[in-house]
Chain A
C-alpha cells in the first residue's frame, strides 16, 4: 500500500509539470509621460518595435526619451543614425528637451552613424556593422533612425526577399542579444498591409499629425504590442519642453480612493440651498449649475469650494475664462479667503490657457491637479469655457472625454460642480444646450424672472439622483456674503419658469428699493 506521502509527492510533481511558470516579460519605462499606461505598463523588454509616422510628429523625440529613460553605463543604448536627421543636428535640437541628460552621452548612450555603410555597401554590410557594434557594446536599447532610409536603399539595391531576410535576421540577432529595439521611420499607413517589417515587429507605435483649421492635432496609436493589453484607439500627444507627452483616451486615471459606500451630504455653502437639496450634495456626485450670464454660477461655485475648505476638503477650481486673480477677488468680496488655502496646498486655481488645448490634455491637467492636492471637491467653471479652450479639432470629442473624466473622478469620491451658461428664453427652460445633463447626478437651474417691474433671480433644484429634494422655486440675491436665498417659495405667481410669470395672488405694497442687491466690491 502506498503511503500518503508518496501520493502527495506525485500530486506535487504533477502540479509542477502541468503548470510550468510563465515567462515574466519585464516592462521598460518609455520615459514618455502617459505612454506606459497606454502600452499596458511599459515597453516589453527585448521587443522589436517600429516608431512610424509622418515627418514632424515626434518619432525621433520619442526614441530619445526611451533611450534616456533606460540607458545606463552597464546596459547602454546604441543609437544608429542613417541618412535622416544628421547626428550633429539631432544633438543640437534634442538637448533642448528637459529629458536630455548630457552626462549619459558617450558611456551610456552612443551615437553611431551608418550613413557611409548604407551608401557605399549592401544590406549584409549594414547587418555586419550593426552586429559588430552590438557585440562590442552589448546594449539594452538599440535605435535605428531612420530605418526607412536603410530600407529605401535596400529596395534599390536588393530584392524584396533579401530585404525581408535582413529584417528577420536583424530582429532575431537583436532579440538574442537581449536588446529592446526601435526602428524609426517615415511610413504611410497604407504600407502596413504589404511591408514585411510590420509583420515581424512586436510593437508598432504610429504617430500622426493633421491640421484642424488653425490648430495642429498630434495623435498616437499603438497599432500592436505583443504580449500585453494596450489601450486601443487614438491618443492625443503634445510636444513641449519635456518632450513628448501622451494623453490616454482612458486618461490613465486610477485613484487609490474609491467612492465611499456610505456617502455623506456635503454643504454647498448656502444653508437654504442645502436644505432644498435634502441636506446638501451627495459626496461623489456631479452637480451641474446652469444659468444665464450674471445669475451667480461662479459665486455658487466659490461658496461650494469654500465650504469644502472649511470642512477640511481640499479643492480644485478649473477656470477657462476668468483669471485666478478675479476669482480670488470675488471670493474676498464675499468674505471667503481663497489665498491662504492656495498657499497651504489645499486649493489650486487652475487657469487653462485657451484655444489650443487637446481635450485629453485639459482633462489630464485637471486630474493631475486633483491628485496633487488630494482634492475632494472640483469646480469646472465653465463647461462652455472648457470647450472653447480646446483646439477646434478636439471639440467633437468633448462630451466623450468629459464623460470619462467625470466618471473617473466621481468614482473616486470627488464631488464635482460644473457650471454651464444657458440662454434664458421666455418660453423654454433648458438645462444645457450641450445635452450633458446625462453626465450629472444633480442639476440646479438659475434664471431671471420679471416680477413687479424687476428682473429678479430664482433657482430650482431640477434633479437629485441620490434622493428627494425640494420642488420649490426660490428667489435669491447675491450680496456681500455671496448667494443668499431670500424668500420662501412664492405661491402668488404661476409660470415662474417661463421668466414671465402671471400673478395669481394679491399685489403687495412694494417698498422702494434703492439698491436691492449690493454689488460685490473689490
Chain B
C-alpha cells in the first residue's frame, strides 16, 4: 500500500522537487480524497475511516498521536508539530497515514473499486503494475 500512497503523493508533487513541498503534497492527497469519500459515505463515515487509519498509522509513526481528525474530516494539530518534527518525518507520517487509509478502503471494497475511486479524483494517474500485496507493513524501502 506504501507504493500506492507514494505514487499518489508523487503525482501531486510532479514537477516540484523541493523538499518543502513534500509535506503539503502528502496532505493534499487526503484533502482531495475527502470530498469524494464524504460524498460516498457521508462526513461521519469519512471521519470514522480516517480516524481508524490514524490509529493504525500511530503504531508506526509515534508523532501522529498528537494529530486529531476534526468533525469535517480535516486534521488538526499538524501545524503545531511543524516546529518539532522535520519535513522528512512529516512526509513519512503522511505516507503511512495515506497508505493506511487506502488499505482500509481495499479491505472494505476491494482493490478494483478503490482504484476506481482514486481514478475519479486523478483520472490521468498511472497505476500500472501496482502491487497491493507488497509492503503490507508500509515500511520505507531500504
Contacts and interface: CB of A to CB of B under 8 A. Distances in A.
Interface of A: 81, 86-89, 91-92, 95, 102, 105-106, 111-113, 115-116
- The B interface, classified by DSSP as helix, strand, loop or mixed, is helix
Contacts of A88: 40-41, 45, 49, 108-109
B110 interface: yes
A105 B116 CA distance: 8
B113 A91 contact: yes
B40 A116 contact: no
A106 B42 contact: no
> Among the interface residues A88, A89, A95, A111, which one has the most CB atoms of the partner chain B within 10 A?
A88
B44 A91 contact: no
A88 B49 CA distance: 10
Contacts of A115: 42, 44-45
Nearest to A103: B116
Contacts of B108: 88-89, 91-92
Nearest to B110: A95
Given A92-B108, A111-B40, A87 B120 contact: no
A88 B119 CA distance: 17
Given A87-B45, A102-B116, A112 B109 contact: no
A519 to B, nearest CB: 57
Closest 3 A/B residue pairs (Cβ): A113-B42, A115-B42, A91-B109
B112 interface: yes
B44 A102 contact: no
A275 B112 CA distance: 66
Contacts of A111: 39-40
A146 to B, nearest CB: 14
> Among the interface residues B45, B109, B116, B119, which one has the most CB atoms of the partner chain A within 10 A?
B109
A113 B49 contact: no
Interface string B6-28: 00000000000000000000000
Interface string B100-134: 00000000111011001101100000000000000
B112 A102 contact: yes
B38 interface: yes
Contacts of A105: 113, 116
B113 A113 contact: no
B39 A113 contact: yes
Contacts of A86: 41-42, 45
Contacts of B49: 88
B39 A95 contact: no
A116 B44 contact: yes
A304 B120 CA distance: 61
Given A92-B108, A106-B120, A87 B41 contact: yes
A105 B108 CA distance: 16
A87 B41 CA distance: 5
Contacts of A92: 108-110
Contacts of B68: none
B46 to A, nearest CB: 9
A95 B40 contact: no
Given A88-B41, A89-B108, A112-B39, 17 more contacts: A87-B40, A88-B49, A88-B109, A91-B109, A91-B113, A92-B109, A95-B110, A95-B113, A102-B113, A105-B116, A106-B119, A106-B120, A113-B40, A113-B41, A115-B44, A115-B45, A116-B43
Contacts of B116: 102, 105-106
19 contacts: A86-B41, A86-B42, A86-B45, A87-B41, A89-B108, A91-B108, A92-B109, A92-B110, A102-B112, A102-B116, A106-B116, A111-B40, A113-B38, A113-B39, A113-B40, A113-B41, A113-B42, A115-B45, A116-B38
Contacts of B45: 86-88, 113, 115
Contacts of A116: 38, 42-44
B1 to A, nearest CB: 17
Nearest to B105: A88
A89 to B, nearest CB: 7
A93 to B, nearest CB: 10
Contacts of B41: 86-88, 113
A106 to B, nearest CB: 5
Interface string B47-69: 00100000000000000000000
Contacts of B42: 81, 86-87, 113, 115-116
A146 B116 CA distance: 25
Contacts of A89: 108
Contacts of B113: 91, 95, 102, 105
B47 to A, nearest CB: 11
